Amino acid sequence: CPDAGPNFLHFFDLSIAPPLLLYSYIPIFFLCIFLGFFILIRDKYSVLSKYFFGINICFASYIFLSLIQWVGSYVEIVHLAWQFYLFPEICIFLFSIPFSYIFLFKKNIPYLYTYYLAAILVIISVILPTRLNVNYFDIVNCESVYGSFWHFEYIFELICIIAILLLFFKKILLEDKRSEKLKTILFSLGQVFFLGMKYQ
């Protein structure tokens, strides 16, 4: 990119990144990976821990790609990061629904949902290298310009948030224990807040 010069591993220029970017993103990146593996192993590879692991790894990938977009020295690297950006973005929301369902209702998701999940991942994988994902690269601002599919992506993320809210209300209506209701409220608020911040 015009304002970057390779000085770290020959591919990145850390000098062009805002200082707080490195201090905030890098610790969160390693924390996500640590928590993902820690919960997965401690919970003995349960279905719930696998979805939690998936969310953490996808979020770590999202952070990693964001860092590359900021500090990448070459246009090819920055553009490649923008092209892959959609995949972890979608997966964070996609995995949050079954994770919420299993946590709230203590049972696995309907088997049909796994087919929907797989189908969406295949569709996203096919779209990644096309102009539906990234239309072109703006060399002046050193960033890619989103394609038309991103309009549907925002709608999809909003649908995922609404789906989790519906699961929350269903659980509240079915639950009689006050402690369980409190746990449901805290969990749902955390999920919606996390996805809501990501949706911005």
- Beta-carbon contacts of 21 under 8 Å, excluding residues fewer than 6 positions away, are 67, 70
Please say if the pLDDT value at position 16 is more than 70. Answer: no
State residue 198's pLDDT score. Answer: 65
What does the pLDDT average to over 138-157? 84
Q: What percent of the chain has pLDDT over 90?
A: 41
Q: Do 148 and 81 meet the contact criterion of CB atoms below 8 Å apart?
A: no
- Between 22-26, 79-83, 129-133, 193-197, the lowest mean confidence (pLDDT) is in 22-26
Please say if the pLDDT value at position 3 is more than 60. Answer: no
Nearest CA to 142 among 95, 56, 81?
81
Q: Cα-flanking dihedrals φ and ψ of residue 59, to 5°?
A: -70, -40
Q: Do 51 and 102 meet the contact criterion of CB atoms below 8 Å apart?
A: yes
State residue 145's pLDDT score. Answer: 86
Please say if the pLDDT value at position 46 is more than 60. Answer: yes
